[in-house]
């Protein structure tokens, strides 16, 4: 399951509001513009109350933060960098998480690979036992 979420800069974030993102069982990726900061995903700004609430919720609900510390937004006018966008996951592995400048938005493009299953061997191509020719 892939979920996209937006939290207004002025809105309070609570566990109850975050619970709307719980969804069904199984693998899940949440891409969210949380408009908040926490040192676990944003080394450029100090943690705020909304960021603390999100981290607490992730711990309570077995969600991992996939961000690597790369900026996800460039402030128009000042070009100041920040990381208001987070990628959360459950029951899957995220690798190659990257953030790149977008030509048409102040938010960066975020790309990553998602692996679902208990072993990467399940999705790896098998080697032929003998030559194919």
Range of the domain at 47: 2-122
CATH number at residue 97: 3.60.10.10
- Residue 20 maps to a domain: yes
Our count of domains for the chain comes to 1
Cβ count within 10 A of residue 65: 17
Q: Averaged over 4-16, what is the pLDDT?
A: 85
Residue 14 lies in a domain: yes
Q: Do the bridges between strand 28-33 and strand 2-6 make them parallel or antiparallel, or are there none, so unpaired?
A: parallel
The answer to whether residue 65 is domain-embedded is yes
Residue 74 lies in a domain: yes
Encode pLDDT of 78-87 as tens digits.
988 988 899 9
**DSSP one-letter code for 107:** B
Q: Token pair 């961000």 is at which residue?
A: 67
**pLDDT, tens digit, 9 for 90 and up, residues 25-62:** 889 999 999 999 999 999 988 999 999 999 999 999 99
Q: Is residue 132 part of a domain?
A: no
What are the helix (H) ranges across 7-82? Answer: 15-19, 49-60
Q: How far apart are CA 3 and CA 95, in angstroms?
A: 18
Flag whether 31 is in a domain. Answer: yes
pLDDT digits (tens, 9 = 90+) for 116-129: 876 554 444 445 55
Q: Coil, strand, or helix at residue 133?
A: coil
DSSP classification of residue 119: -
Tokens of 56: 């607490």
- Position of tokens 């100090």? 46
What predicted TM-score, i.e. pTM, was given to this entire model?
0.80
Alpha helices in 40-109 (DSSP H): 49-60
Domain-located, residue 130 = no
> Is residue 106 assigned to a domain?
yes
């Amino acid at each position: 399951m892939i979920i996209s979420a937006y939290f207004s800069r002025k809105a309070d974030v609570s566990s109850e509001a975050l619970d709307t993102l719980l969804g069904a069982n199984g693998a899940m990726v949440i891409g969210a513009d949380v408009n908040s900061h926490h040192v676990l995903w944003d080394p450029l700004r100090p943690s705020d109350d909304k960021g603390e609430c999100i981290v607490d919720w992730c711990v309570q609900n077995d969600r991992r933060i996939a961000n690597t510390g790369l900026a996800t937004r460039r402030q128009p006018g000042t070009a100041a960098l920040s990381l208001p966008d987070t990628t959360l996951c459950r029951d899957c592995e995220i690798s190659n998480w990257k953030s790149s400048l977008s030509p048409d938005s102040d938010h960066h493009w975020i790309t990553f690979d998602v692996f679902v299953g208990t072993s990467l061997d399940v999705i790896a191509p098998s080697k032929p036992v003998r030559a194919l020719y």
